Amino acid sequence: MNKKQAFGAIMLTAAIVAAVLYFRPSFNAEELVKNSELGGRTFSRPVQEIVSPRYGIRAYLLEDDSNPIISLSFSFAAAGSRAEEKGQAGLAGLTAALLPEAAGDLKSSEFKEKMENYAISIGYSADKDDLSGHLLTVKEYAPVAFGMLKDTLTAPRVDRADLKRLKKQMLALLESQSENPGQQLSLTAGRELFGTHPYGANPLGIKEDIENLSGKDVKKYAKLHLGRSNLIVGIAGDMTATEATAMLDDVFGALPAEGAVDDTVVVKPDLSGGFSYHNAELPQNMAYAAAEGTRRDAADFYPLYIANYILGGSGLSSRLNLAAREKEGLTYGIYTGLSVLDKTALIVGGFSATPENFSRVVEIFGREWKLMGEKGVSARELEEAKNYLIASNNLRFADITNISNMLVYMQKENIGIDFLQKRNQYVARVTLEQVNRAAARYFRPENLKIISLGKFN
Amino acid sequence: MKKTFIAVCLTCLFSAFPVSAKLFDIAEYTLSNGARLLVVENHKAPIAKHMVWYRVGAVDEKPGKGGAAHLLEHLMFRGTKNVPGSELNRIMQVNGIDGNAFTSRDYTAYHQSLDISRLELAMALEADRMHNLDFSDEAFAAERDIVFQERKQVVENQPLSSFSEALQQNLWQTHPYARPVTGTEEEILNLTKEDVMDIYRRYYVPANAVIVISGDIEAKTAYRLAEKYYGAVPAGEKVALKSFPVLNPTAKSHLQMQLPRVELPRVVRRYIVDSYNTGADNIYALSVLSAYLGEGDTSELYKELVVKRKKALAVSSSYDYASRSYGTFSLSAVPARGISAEELQIALDEAVANALDDLDGKKVEKIKNKMLAGLVYLKDNPFDAAYIVGSLYAIGMTKEDIENYADNIRAVTAEDVKKAAFRLLNGSAFAEGTVKPLGRGGENE
């Protein structure tokens, strides 16, 4: 070995050492997780399907006696705002507001005071598809709570003063929608995407319709739409199957056998034009993106879910946030997500940016969307997405209300009673090929519309 | 029969939250470098919330450097010597950790919801960025632009946020609570790397940090692990307790705004009152007063102004005692159609006076019971528990006072509430504001 060779060898060695040093991760996350003494625990409480003896009412139950509390979620399918008749826009929401206002022998203030005294919470809400309810109680006062809930369903009072007051509050809520540019944009987008289909309407209703709604309308709506045939129930907490089935008969047994009939047609979003803008005097422009998506029980749901996660569903690390936020500082945030309604399935997205940044963010959004469709994702991106989805699965069990809501969702979307046990397997078995096929199918420039609100030149 | 049942129940009712029961069963430790650790065990699922609270917020910024604490919070996601660039976000993502951070006027907090198998990882990452922050000039420039966009989105685009900010300035005048947490647009654009690093160096030290872990872990294990990961961070210099200006209790200001995109007029009045730090003895009576006056649909103001007199569509009160300086007591209302903001202000004063005239021992017992009945639910969600415990401890509340909340509420008498109300209405600075739709004279017709 001559001097030159020796020097070369030393340089080579030095380069390798430097490379090793350079690439040696000084923070080894994988090792930390692998060696953590806190690993290997799972959430293993099973979900059981229970059936009430007298009326055959089915429900999912997740028993958990770690706290003496019970959460009951229930939903009346197809009883949301899309079930409202012409001239009655707002009736589903008004019904949901009035049911827990006063019931049985108790007037509004008495009913509410009783709930407060026993720490019982009973509430209803209506969205575009369903009218849903929720009850939270401590085990000790569960009999009181379920008695009150039964009254809201079978003996709602709909007192005239309550009706008048709640209508006024609904009208005020309707007005206040214009104060929030995000809500304004979402209503505009609904109209553009779905036109005269019920999904195009304001879920809060129409001013003139709300003004004309009567107590009779509310009682009739409840009677026709809330029945045992369209009822879905989820129960979580300190309740045994025997207690739960008795409760189902008692609380829901007196409902009419038949509830809402689902006669809304399936609809696809109107994406014509690809871009639209609506002028408004805003300091910052806003955009709402929409595209056709897939159903929750479709074969390509998980592949699309993962592709979307990588594009715009993973917070700060998503491709969109890395490009528009982290790199160029153009926006506070940009996202995409899947939205599945009963009669349509969407990919949605959004961002806000000042007028001088806005067109650049639109450009980045379109570019990344197209790139996802054309090139798909890498094996590493897929693996990292799966890791997130699997490792974060248990976070859904933090809140008892979240658990009972999930039990309703599992039945509504028909994803199986073993969903909680199997969900990580569903994610794990998704292949790169499946993700890229879904990406190519959904992330096409033709399958995207950006609707925007703000100042445009 | 039914009546008897209710009567019996009312006496036994609040066994749902028994006397002397602790709210959270917090375990409290001090690490070798002075960092505090609070642990709330909750074994319902293999998950936890991990938080690090620093006692630094907008109040600690130097004049003209508004937004520095908030910008620093953003930059804490932009790399350290060991975890460069945006690697932290990627590591959190692939480990299923839902993390974020927030800045308030009094504190800054970093938090992660995670599977318990990732707790050690999160502790290592937080401990690392407690003393190794190292971001590039490009990252700084981009992040400053991002917080500028954030302010546009969260404040400027929301007329009610602009109103609320103006009211805060009126109320607090020269006190640092007058400053917006985001800083003004001009301040944000003029911030330098040195401005944020100055806060980082002075305040991001173990002695000024509170670590909160709530979830599926034994307190002793959490302590051992905290010492392992956080214990290695150099103690740094102790942060001196900040002194705040003393405010003149006779200051009263009135603000009237008309703003575009406001559809419904609002009436808001905010009083400067005692907080845990300026008068801990008074905070429970003020809490009962707020619940009595305007918390929920069974409160006196709601029954009087919304249900009976129909002057308002909504009315509420709230009281915040969890602050490093003074506390705030607020009344807010939305006038009913055809009622002017001024008319509602008069009606609000009358309703408050009437409610106080009616206040007696029986009513106070009832309201206290209502406040205590729901406390049992605090044992459910470990994520919420971490937030509540952390936000109280970060402003200086002791573990004992957090735990004994129920007993302290129980001890409040009607006399205490009346005294608190008298001081509120007669000896407290306040700012009253109305906001109306632009160009419509404000009548909601």
- Asked if A23 is an interface residue toward chain B (Cβ–Cβ < 8 A), one would say no
Nearest by CB to residue A392, choosing from B96, B116, B144, is: B96
User: Cβ of A219 under 8 Å from any chain B Cβ?
Assistant: no
Name residue, tokens 């509170």. B210
Query: B252-437 has which fold?
Result: Cytochrome Bc1 Complex; Chain A, domain 1 (3.30.830)
Whole-angstrom distance, CA of residue A260 vs CA of residue A81: 12
Q: How far is it between the farthest Cα atoms of chain B?
A: 75
Please give the distance of CA A414 from its chain centroid, rounded to a whole number.
Answer: 16
Q: What is the pLDDT of residue A16?
A: 46
CATH of B26-230, one of 3.40.50.980, 3.30.830.10, 3.60.20.10, 3.90.550.10: 3.30.830.10
Asked if A394's CB is within 8 angstroms of B45's CB, the reply is yes
Label residue A1 by pLDDT band (50, 70, 90).
Answer: very low
Q: What is the DSSP letter of A198?
A: G
Contact A354 B143 (CB under 8 A): no
Report the percentage of chain B scoring pLDDT > 90: 92
| Residue A317 contacts B, CB cutoff 8 Å | yes
Q: In this complex, do B221 and A37 lie within 8 Å of one another by their Cβ atoms?
A: yes
Name which of A118, A392, A400 is nearest B98 (Cβ-Cβ). Answer: A392
DSSP H or E stretch at residue B425: helix B414-426
Average confidence (pLDDT) over B115-129? 98
Q: What value of ipTM does the predicted structure carry?
A: 0.92
Cβ of A117 and B146 within 8 Å?
no
Q: Do B77 and A140 touch (CB under 8 A)?
A: no
Q: What is the DSSP secondary-structure string of A83-141?
A: GPPTT-TTHHHHHHHHTTT-BTTB-HHHHHHHHHHTT-EEEEEE-SS-EEEEEEEEGGG
What global pTM score does this model have? 0.94
Interface of A with B in 186-205 (CB under 8 A): none
Kindly tell me if the per-residue pLDDT of B21 is higher than 90. Answer: no
B338 exposure class (CB count in 10 Å sphere: 0-12, 13-18, 19+)? exposed
Domains by residue range for chain A, with CATH = 48-252 (3.30.830.10), 275-454 (3.30.830.10)
Question: Has residue A73 got a pLDDT over 50?
Answer: yes
Instruction: Say whether pLDDT at A22 is over 90.
Output: no
- On chain A, the residues whose CB falls within 8 A of the CB of B156 are 283-284
Are B155 and B180 contacting, i.e. CB atoms less than 8 angstroms apart?
yes
Instruction: Give the pLDDT confidence of B197-253 residue by residue, as tens digits.
Output: 999 999 999 999 999 999 999 999 999 999 999 999 999 899 999 999 999 889 999
Q: Measuring CA to CA, how many Å separate A426 from each of A128, A259, A392, B46?
A: 29, 34, 14, 21
> A371 — phi, psi (to 5°)?
-60, -40
Cα dist from B375 to A22, A137, B261, B367, whole Å: 53, 12, 39, 14
Q: For residue B80, what are the β-bridge partners? A: B133
Q: What is the largest CA-CA distance in chain A?
A: 105
Say if A395 is an interface residue toward chain B (CB within 8 Å): yes
The answer, yes or no, to whether residue A15 has pLDDT greater than 50, is: no
**CB of A249 within 8 A of CB of A54?**
yes
Residues from chain A contacting residue B87 (CB–CB below 8 Å):
27
Range of lowest pLDDT (A185-189, B25-29, B39-43, B244-248): B244-248
Query: Taking CB atoms and an 8 Å cutoff, what residues of chain B touch A39?
Result: 117
- Residues A363, B19: Cα–Cα separation, whole Å: 61
Q: Do the bridges between strand B108-115 and strand B47-54 make them parallel or antiparallel, or are there none, so unpaired?
A: antiparallel
The residues of B assigned a catalytic role are 73
The residue type of A14 is: A
Interface test with B, best of A24, A30, A32, A427 (most B CBs within 10 A): A32
Asked if the domains at B26-230 and B252-437 fall in one CATH topology, the answer is yes
Residues B189/B140, Cβ–Cβ less than 8 Å: no
Lowest-pLDDT choice from A45-59, A62-76, A372-386, B4-18: B4-18
Collapsing DSSP states into helix, strand and coil, what is residue B208? helix
Q: How far is B431 from chain A (nearest CA, A)?
A: 23
The domain ranges of chain B are 26-230, 252-437
CA distance B288 to B371: 8
Selecting from B87, B115, B142 the residue whose C-beta is nearest the C-beta of A391 gives B115
Q: Inter-chain contact B376–A68, Cβ cutoff 8 Å?
A: yes
Quick check: A67 contacting B, CB < 8 Å? yes
Instruction: Please list, in sequence order, all residues whose beta carbon lies within 8 angstroms of the beta carbon of residue B251, skipping any fewer than 6 positions away.
Output: B173, B429
> Contacts for A242-246 with beta carbons within 8 Å, 24 or more apart?
A243/A142, A244/A50, A244/A59, A244/A61, A245/A50, A245/A51, A245/A52, A245/A53, A246/A52
pLDDT at site B440: 62
- The alpha carbon of residue B297 is apart from the nearest alpha carbon of chain A, in Å, by 7
B83 → closest Cβ in A27, A138, A165:
A27
Minimal Cα–Cα distance from B415 to chain A, Å? 23
For tokens 């026993």, name the residue: A118
Cβ neighbour number for residue A400 with a 10 Å cutoff: 24
Model confidence pLDDT, tens digit, residues A204-236: 999 999 999 999 999 999 999 999 999 999 999
- Write the CA distances from B167 to A66, B172, B180, B277, B435, integer angstroms: 45, 9, 11, 23, 10
Q: How confident is the model over B129-141, as a mean pLDDT? A: 97
Integer CA distances (angstroms), A73 to A69, A231, A310, B44, B222, in order:
13, 11, 32, 19, 35
- Cα A188 to chain centroid, rounded: 20
CB contact under 8 A, B98 and A283: no
Per-residue pLDDT tens digits for B48-92: 999 999 999 999 999 999 999 999 999 999 999 999 999 999 999
Nearest CA among A85, A106, A170, A100 for reference residue A133: A100
